Amino acid sequence: MTAGVDKELVLRNTVEVVTEEELDDVLKKSNPSVYCGYETSGPVHIGHMVTATKLLDLQEAGFKVRVLFADVHTLLNRKGGEDWINDMLLYWTECFKGLGLKKAEYVRGSEFQFEKDYMTDVLELALKATMNRALRSMQEVARDIDNARVSQVIYPLMQAVDIKALKVDVAYGGIEQRKIHMLARETLPMIDCKKPVCLHTPLLCSLQGPDSKMSSSKPETIIAVDEEGKSIKKKIQSAYCPPETEGNPVLDICRLLLFPRKGSLKVRRPEKYGGDVEYGSYSEVEADYRGNKLHPADLKSMVASALDEVLEPVREHVRESGVYLPAQEENSA
């Protein structure tokens, strides 16, 4: 590895790296690169903030960060019409810059995905991959998978070719991207491209608990990154927060968002209830919560205040940009 590369920072809050040995080789490079792709549908919310936060980690560790706003993929996955998606791209770009990714390179899929070499590679992979294999790779990300369209089988092949076209060392995403990334690792050598290292982080649990998926069509399940403070606090106060740590969205926000961005958190409470407590790590919060030393109400209050503080620069940036969330299309989610 290159001297000074913080591998611990690269791997913080990840659930998987494929493979760690290959990652070590990448970290020896003087200018490693990583990309993460996003369908630009619905508001940018704190689930997307997990990957944006990890991209900041990777940038700090010396990676060149590329953010792919996958407008063509969004269309292929039946998430909205072309004009609406174009408007969403502007909003997403400003939200991500507000989240701190001002130095990242922003790329639209449509800027390169219609080029002859790109489409030749997609068609070559279409000859190599079976229908079942391509469809299986979409199980975690496809809309209405039981009635899948041909476009949703083309989708993962394009995602694989994106990695070649962007010339990146690391393909990064939430763990729902794993099956597509594994398809890419299997097929890219067939079109003269080295397998990418694949890095995955966990998905943020819905505010209503693990049985409910975060969805822009259900605003109560998400917090938008440009949401107002009063609404943030209201949603956190009503969030699912069981005695267990597993599947607890309030604790997940602490671990995946707040500690990486703030470094410490503080509970403010009267002396008769234990007084103020400052936590320097997520493990300390989890230990006190498990040991019933941190009440769910105090945890929620701490998280709501800290999240509001972290998102204030995003709200300010979006306001100053003058770009706002386009009205929702009926067929978008």
Which CATH number among 3.40.50.620, 3.40.50.720, 3.10.20.30, 3.20.20.140 corresponds to the domain 7-201?
Answer: 3.40.50.620
Q: Which residues, including other chains, have CB under 8 Å from residue 280's CB and lie 6 or more apart?
A: 263, 264
pLDDT for 2: 55
187 vs 78 pLDDT, higher one: 187
Model confidence pLDDT, tens digit, residues 209-234? 998 878 777 888 999 999 999 999 99
Given a cut of 70, whether residue 331 has pLDDT beyond it is: no
Distance, in Å, from the CA atom of 179 to the CA atom of 135, rounded to the nearest integer, reads 10
Q: Where in the chain is the domain with CATH 3.40.50.620?
A: 7-201
- Rounded Cα–Cα distance for residues 152 and 76 (Å): 6
pLDDT at 333 over 50: no
Query: CA-CA distance, 129 to 135, in Å (whole number)?
Result: 10
**Is 164 within 8 Å of 188 (Cβ atoms)?**
yes
pLDDT (tens digit, 9 = 90+) per residue, 72-122?
989 888 888 999 999 999 999 999 999 999 999 999 999 999 999 999 999
How does DSSP classify residue 45?
A: B
The model's pTM is: 0.92
Q: What pLDDT, on the 0 to 100 scale, is given for residue 208?
A: 94
Considering the domain 219-321, what is its CATH architecture? Orthogonal Bundle (1.10)
pLDDT of residue 100: 97
**Confidence band of 138 (pLDDT split at 50, 70, 90):** confident
Q: Where are the alpha helices (H) located in the chain, listed in sequence order?
A: 7-11, 20-26, 46-60, 71-76, 82-98, 116-128, 131-137, 151-166, 178-187, 229-237, 249-253, 259-262, 282-290, 296-321
In the chain, ranges of CATH 1.10.240.10 domains: 219-321
The Cα 215–Cα 302 span in angstroms is 25
Average pLDDT, rounded, for the chain: 92
Buried/exposed 296-328: b ≥16 CB within 10 Å, e otherwise: bebbbbbbbbbbbebbeebbebbeeeebebbee
Q: pLDDT digit string (tens) for 9-57?
A: 999 999 999 999 999 999 999 999 999 999 998 899 999 999 999 999 9
